[in-house]
Amino acid sequence: MREFLLKNVIFDLPGIGEKDLAPMREGLEKCGIAAFCASEKAAYQGSSLLVAGRTSKLLTNKALFYNFYPDGAEYVFEGSNIPHPDELTPDYLERVYRRIENIPWDILETDRLVIKETSLDDLDAFYEIYADPEITRYTEDLFADRADEEKYTIDYRENIYKFYGFGMWTVMRKVSFEPDEAGRYAHTKDCEIIGRAGISYREGFDIPELGFIIGTKYQRQGYAYEACRACIEYVHREHDISEVQSLVYPDNSASVNLCMKLGMHDTGEMFEGMKIYRMSV
């Protein structure tokens, strides 16, 4: 996670006390996150996340909860779903907070790119990229009605990102190359959107599909390969995906060459006029 928006985590989990919390604090504090037990009397400033078991007394009175933690979010674990403290890493907790607050996840970062979940804020850039006929020559266009595209994006975030944990993402090029003390770039405002890339499931196929679109003015600079390679490695590492395919029109030589460079092979299969390229990860 490039930037931590979460500032406080309040734990009220069975079996987790002050001694259990101590080793977690150092890692959280390095990311600017303060950790507290629910029994502690403290004034919490900024965005807060309550991580609680269903029996937590803080969940029995929502007014009390929101008085303690203004602008806070809650995440409730039940029964055997309560994680071990070692699993509650800063990245994990940040992602929980962002999902509750409907804030896009930062998925991964390469030398030149940041890849994140798509949000409504990205649509202006997408419409500019897709306005080039060369982009829509091989790719389905965005909805002509902006409202329809907004609804599609909202539904995609709700039904795909939340269910699978991956999908088609927004690709951004780093504009500022000055990291902060923790090695992270200050904010996604230091980047510009150049396209999309990601892994998703096409109806009728069991093997996930790699998709990619890079704006015309950003092409021939290696961005597509950099983004696609990172996406493949990410889903293999985080979601145990061991096989990926891509469907490409035969005359789309740039995409064919990219698939081959990534290590895919031509299966000899066709689907709706597209060749199917596939690789083991």
Which pLDDT value is given to residue 177? 57
The kind and range of the H/E element at 127 are helix 123-130
Split the chain (281 residues) into runs of 10 and give each run's mean pLDDT. 79 74 83 83 73 69 48 58 72 87 92 95 97 95 98 96 95 75 53 96 97 97 98 97 98 97 98 98 94
Token pair for 33 = 């996150």
Do the Cβ atoms of 7 and 45 come closer than 8 Å?
A: yes
Neighbours of 235 (CB within 10 A): 21
Residues 6+ apart with CB under 8 A from 165: 238, 239
Task: List, edge to edge, every strand of the sheet that includes 73-77.
Answer: 34-37, 8-12, 48-53, 73-77
Residue 95 DSSP one-character state? H
In angstroms, the CA 74 to CA 96 distance is 9
pTM exceeding 0.95: no
In angstroms, the CA 25 to CA 46 distance is 17
**C-alpha to C-alpha distances, 185 to 2, 4, 168, 177, nearest whole angstrom:** 7, 11, 23, 7
Which pLDDT value is given to residue 8? 87
Tell me the DSSP string of 188-221: GGGEEEEEEEEEEPPTT-SS-EEEEEE-GGG-SS
Token pair for 203 = 């109806």
> 106-280 has which CATH code?
3.40.630.30
Which pLDDT value is given to residue 227? 98
In angstroms, the CA 203 to CA 174 distance is 34
Paired residues of 75 in beta bridges: 51
Which pLDDT value is given to residue 85? 66
Do the Cβ atoms of 235 and 166 come closer than 8 Å?
A: yes
